[in-house]
Chains A and B, each alone.
Chain A
Amino acid sequence: MALAKGAAAIAGIGQTEFSKDSGRSELQLASEAVRAALDDAGLTPADVDGLVTMTHDTNDEHALIRSVGIEQVRWTSRTPFGGGGSAALVEHAAAAVASGAADVVVVFRAFNERSGSRFGQPTGRALTPGLSWHLPYGLDTPAKMYALWYQRYMHQYGLTNEDFGRYTVVARKHAATNPNAWFYKRPITLEEHQNSRWIVEPILRLLDCCQESDGGVALVVTSAERAKDLRRPLVTIDGATQGSVINSDILFNYYDHDLARFPQAEYVARQLWGSTGLGPADIDAAMIYENFSPVVFYQLEAFGFCDHGEAKDFIADGNIELGGRLPVNTHGGLLGEAYIHGVNNIIEGVRQIRGSATNQVPDAQHVLCAVGHSAVVLGSGD
C-alpha cells in the first residue's frame, strides 16, 4: 500500500533564479530557496522540524540549519538515485508528516551544476568497481549511458532522432512563454533541432539533452489540515511512491528486461493508480523528468497515457502541448526551464494546482510529477 491519499500537502515553494553561473555558494542557494519557500507558506524557520534532500546534495544539514536559523530538527533523510529520486523527496517528507515523525518538513536541492561540478562531463576513472563493466568501453557520460538504453526503444518502435525532436520543440515552446525559464522567448523549430550536433549518434542531439544549471529550490511539506490554514491554496500529495525492481539500475539499465520498456516506471504507475483510485484520464497535466528527451516517451507509455510504441504519435498529434489532452512540462521542463535535478518540476506541479502557473492549464485538479523511478500525484484536496 502506497502513501495514503491526502496525508500531507505542499504548503510552500521557493527558488532562486535559474542561471549558468550563480556567483554564490551552494549553501547560499539552498538557504535562499528554503527561506523563500517558508515565506511562501507563511511559516518561519522556527516551524521547521524536518529536512529532506538528495544524497547528491553537497549541503550539510547542520550547515543549512545554522544558515537559515532553523532551531530544532527531528527528521532528516536523503533520497538515492539522483534525479530519479526527485519525486521521492516528496514521498519522504510526506511519510514523515503522515507518521508524526515531523510536522513541517523542508525539501531542498541546490547546486552550481553549470559553474561548478558538471554532471555531463566525462568521468575520468572507475571510482567504484561496478563501473568497470561500462567505463572502459567508453560509457563515460550520462548521455552515452542512457543512449544505449534508448537505442533499443528506437529500434523496436521504429523511431528516428527527429521523433525525439518533436518533444524538444514542445518543451522549448512552453519555456518560451515562461519568464522563469533559461530559454524564455527562445523557441526552436524541428529543423533547428535536426541541425544541432550529435552528442550520441544516432540517438541524442544537443537539443535532446537537458540543460546544465545553477540554482536552488525548496518545498514545505506539512499536514493537509495545517496547510488549509496557511496562506496558499491547498495542494495535497495524493500519491507518492518509488520503483526499484530487480536488475534495474539508474545509469546502466541494460541487463535483464526489454529495453524498450521502463519497468520501474510501470511499477510506480501501478502503485500510484492503485493507491489514488485515479488513472491516466484523471491527470490534467504532467511534469515528466527528462534528462534526455527519449525518457518522456518511455514514461508516457509506462503511465498509460498511450500504448507502448505510441508516444511518438501521441506527441506528434499535439497531445502534450498547452490545450492538448495532457500538457507536459508546462514550464519547459529540464530542457527548457532549467535542470534543478527535477525538483523544479515539482514546483511547477504545485503552481498548476494553485492556478498560478505562467502557462496555466485551466482548472488543473490532478498533476503527475514523474521521474520514472519515483512519482507523485498532486491534487487540489477534492
Chain B
Amino acid sequence: MPRVIPPVPDRDDQYFWTGVEEGRLLARRCAHCSFLQHPPSPMCPKCGSVDWLIQELSGRGVVYSWIVSRHPSEAESSPRIVALVELEEGPRLVSNLQDVTVPAVVTGMPVELAFAEFDGVKLPQFRPVGGGS
C-alpha cells in the first residue's frame, strides 16, 4: 500500500473529517438558500450566508474521471486508482476506487461508499456497485 499523506483539517472542513471518523460522508448545505457545496467555502457563494447545516450524503455516485496514481520514479506494488466521483446529490469528490482493477474501470460506472484505513488514516473510498470485478 502506498504512503498516505494525512489530511490537515481546519475550521472550514473539520466537520468532514469528523464525519469520516464516524463512518459518515458529510457535506454542508447553506442554512439560508439550501445550496449544497463540496469542497466547502466559509461563505455561501449563492447568497452570502455563513450559516451551514451538515447533511449526510448517500455515498452513491458515478466515476466522472479517473487515473492510476503511481510514484513518478519508484516502483509500487499496488498503485492506487484515483477517481473524481460525481455524487448523486450533485457535488464531486476526489477519492479512490477499491475492489476493481484497471481494465474494468469505466468512466460513468456506478460506485458506492466504503470507508477504509491506510497507514492509520481513515478515508472515504468507493467500490463498484454490486461488488468488484
- Residues on A facing B (Cβ under 8 Å): 120-141, 143-144, 147-149, 151-152, 155, 198-203, 246, 252, 254-255, 259
Contact = CB atoms under 8 A, between A and B. Distances in A.
B114 interface: no
B48 interface: no
B91 interface: yes
Nearest to A123: B5
B107 A131 contact: no
Centre residue among B5, B38, B71, B91 by max chain A CB count within 10 A: B5
Nearest to A260: B65
Interface string B9-34: 11011000100000000000000000
Contact of B123 (A129, A130, A136): A136
Nearest to B10: A129
A149 B94 CA distance: 11
14 contacts: A121-B72, A122-B71, A125-B8, A129-B9, A129-B12, A136-B5, A138-B2, A138-B69, A148-B65, A198-B68, A202-B68, A255-B39, A255-B91, A259-B84
Interface of B: 2, 4-10, 12-13, 17, 38-39, 45, 64-72, 80, 82, 84, 91-96, 102, 107, 121, 123
B117 to A, nearest CB: 12
Nearest to B4: A136
Contacts of B96: 137-138
Contact of B38 (A123, A134, A140, A255): A255
A233 B105 CA distance: 55
A128 B65 CA distance: 24
B67 to A, nearest CB: 5
A126 B94 contact: no
Nearest to B68: A201
A137 B68 contact: no
